[in-house]
Structure 1
Amino acid sequence: MQIAELHPKETTFVLLSFEGPDLYSLAGGLGVRVSELAQTLATLGYETHIFFVGDPDKPERESHANLPLTWWRVAQEVSRRFPTGVYAGEHQKHAVYTSVVPYLVIEQVVKAAVERRKHVIIMGEEWHTSETMVVLHQRLLEENLRRAVIMLWNANNIFGFDQIDWQRLQEAAHITAVSRYMKLRMWEYGINPLIIPNGVPMRFLDPVRADLVTPLQNIAKERLLLTKTARFDPSKNWIQAIHAVARLKALGLRPLLLARGGLEPYGGVVWNETHLLNLHHLRLTLRRPTPEEALYHIRMCADEADVLELDFYVPEALLRAAFKASHAVLANSGHEPFGLVGLETMAVGGVAFTGSTGEDYAQHWHNAI
Structure 2
Amino acid sequence: MNFFQAYASNNTANKPADKEHVKPWVEKYRPKTIDDIASQEQAVSVLKKALHSDNLPHLLFYGPPGTGKTSTILALAHQLYGPKMIKSRVLELNASDERGISVVRDSIKNFARTTLTTSDIDSKYPCPAFKIVILDEADSMTRDAQSALRRTMETYSKTTRFCIICNYVSRIIEPITSRCAKFRFKSLPLEQLSERLNIIADKENVALGSGPKSYSFLFPFQTLQALIKASNGDLRKAITYLQSGANLHQGKEITPDTINRMAGIVPDSVMNKLIETIQNGNTTDIKDQVQELMNEGYSAEFIMSQLNDILGKNQGLTLTTLQQSKIAQILGTTDIRLVHGADEHVQLLNMLLQIGHIVSAN
User: TM-score per shorter chain, which class?
Assistant: 0.3 to 0.5
TM-score, normalised to structure 1, is: 0.34
Relative contact order, CA 8 A, sep 6+: which one is greater?
Answer: 2
Q: Which has the higher helix share?
A: 2
TM-score, normalised to structure 2, is: 0.34
Q: Which has the higher strand share?
A: 1
